[in-house]
């Protein structure tokens, strides 16, 4: 049986709520579950406003639009992340400035940010990566000192805490993903959270073709060039059921991490996700940093022989064609090293100790030549 890189956890409750949404969620109930999710998720994170959207990428785009970030502006973003953290910066015509990451958390390093702040800098996007949280209190201070916006991309760290505060509660705007691989999922989806009513209302206007019939009294009137970033009632129903189970889902991920740690301690030349000071991590994905030079694509391909879906670490965004900046990619040495020499271990909700033991034995064989 194949060990997949990710697999969701679906209970009877998800099926029940989705069935209700698909059979009854029309007409006057067409946004019932969307509104209910907004309320429940706002309360969970501890923010006033939550705008559900079709993807987290949409939420990042809306964040930049609502802050009036445009051509000629600069936005600081970590060089090691999923490309969607940076792509919307280009959508609005601004310039992404790539900063190196902290070797322990893999999140943007606050100590390296100030050097890259200029008169053109309008915001910092800090990404809470793999269930870890960036040093967001320090980043918040930098933003306040320089009078720039703080956008917290918490797509991968829902439910994690830093110094007792929930991931996604630090930024002027925070963003989440409910992609099929995420800790809580709805197949696709995301949301924008904020405590600022004006930002929320502006993002909401942009999210649906610039239409606000309550404001204008016109049903199909577009007040500005907007987008179609609406979420569905059916997806919201699934996400509510997942959110109701979030403690259970986090505990599962933590148990997976403990089991990986137990077996990977026996393997030379590798270090998995570290436990971080002042953090309650979710371990959404456990990653392995390899202490010798590898070709990560070839390394991951070797696992196919054993029916294991091993995924490479994210690439440095500054090395990709749309963002290519050779000077920056060479300067960000930690991002470069981790990107080149790390992989993401399978982390689906269908794992057990037997499977993790198999993964560890195969990993040792491929890395160190140990017999399976």
What average pLDDT does this structure show over 330-350?
A: 97
CATH topology for the 246-368 domain: 3.90.1150
What topology is assigned to 12-244 in CATH? 3.40.640
pLDDT score of 198: 97
Ranges of each domain in the chain: 12-244, 246-368
pLDDT digits (tens, 9 = 90+) for 214-223: 888 888 899 9
96-153 pLDDT, tens per residue? Answer: 999 999 999 999 999 999 999 999 999 999 999 999 999 999 999 999 999 999 999 9
- The mean pLDDT of 153-163, rounded to a whole number, is 98
The full 3-state SS of the chain, as one line of letters, equals: CCECCCCCCCCHHHHHHHHHHHHHCCHHHCCHHHHHHHHHHHHHHCCCEEEEECCHHHHHHHHHHHCCCCCCCEEEEECECCHHHCHHHHHCCCEEEEECECCCCCCECHHHCHHHCCCCEEEEEEECCCCCCCCHHHHHHHHHHHCCEEEEECCCCCCCEECCEECCCCCCEEEEECCCCCCCCCCCCEEEEECCHHHHHHHHHHHECCECHHHHCCCCCECCCCCECCCCHHHHHHHHHHHHCHHHHHHHHHHHHHHHHHHHCCCCCEEECCCCCCEECCCCCCEEEECCCCCHHHHHHHHHHHCECCEECCCEHHHCCCCCCHHHHHHCHHHHHHHHCEEECCCCCCCCHHHHHHHHHHHHHHHHCCCC
pLDDT tens per residue across span 265-297: 999 999 999 999 999 999 999 999 999 999 999
């Amino acid at each position: 049986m194949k060990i997949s890189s990710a697999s969701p956890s679906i209970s009877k409750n998800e099926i029940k709520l989705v069935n209700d949404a698909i059979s009854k969620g029309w007409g006057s109930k067409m946004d019932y579950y969307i509104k209910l999710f907004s309320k429940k998720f706002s309360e969970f994170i501890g923010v006033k406003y939550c705008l559900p959207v079709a993807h987290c990428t949409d939420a990042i785009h809306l964040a930049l639009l609502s802050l009036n970030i445009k051509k000629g502006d600069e936005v600081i973003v970590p060089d090691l992340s999923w490309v969607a953290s940076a792509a919307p910066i280009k959508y609005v015509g601004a310039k992404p400035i790539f900063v190196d990451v902290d070797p322990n958390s893999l999140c943007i390093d606050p100590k390296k940010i100030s050097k890259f702040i200029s008169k053109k800098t309008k915001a910092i996007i800090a990404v809470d990566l793999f269930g870890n949280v960036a040093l967001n209190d320090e980043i918040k201070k930098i933003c306040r000192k320089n009078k720039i916006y703080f956008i917290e991309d918490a797509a991968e760290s829902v439910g994690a805490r830093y110094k007792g505060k929930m991931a996604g509660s630090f930024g002027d705007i925070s963003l989440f993903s409910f992609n099929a691989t995420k800790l809580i999922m709805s197949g696709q989806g995301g949301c924008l959270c904020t405590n600022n009513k004006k930002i929320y209302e502006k993002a909401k206007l942009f999210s649906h073709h610039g239409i606000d019939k309550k404001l204008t009294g016109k049903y199909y009137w577009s007040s500005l060039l907007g987008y179609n970033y609406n979420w569905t009632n059916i997806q919201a129903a699934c996400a509510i059921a997942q959110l109701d189970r979030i403690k259970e889902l986090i505990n599962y991920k933590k148990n997976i991490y403990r089991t990986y740690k137990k077996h990977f301690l026996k393997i030379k030349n590798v270090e998995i996700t570290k436990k971080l000071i002042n953090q309650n991590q979710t371990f959404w994905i456990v990653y392995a940093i390899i202490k010798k030079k590898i070709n990560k694509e070839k390394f991951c391909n070797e696992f196919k022989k054993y029916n294991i879906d091993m995924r490479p670490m994210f690439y440095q965004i500054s090395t990709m064609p749309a963002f290519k900046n050779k000077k920056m990619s060479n300067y960000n040495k930690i991002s470069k090293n981790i990107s080149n020499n790390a992989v993401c271990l399978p982390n689906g909700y269908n794992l057990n100790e037997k499977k993790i033991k198999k993964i560890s034995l195969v990993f040792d064989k491929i890395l160190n030549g140990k017999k399976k």
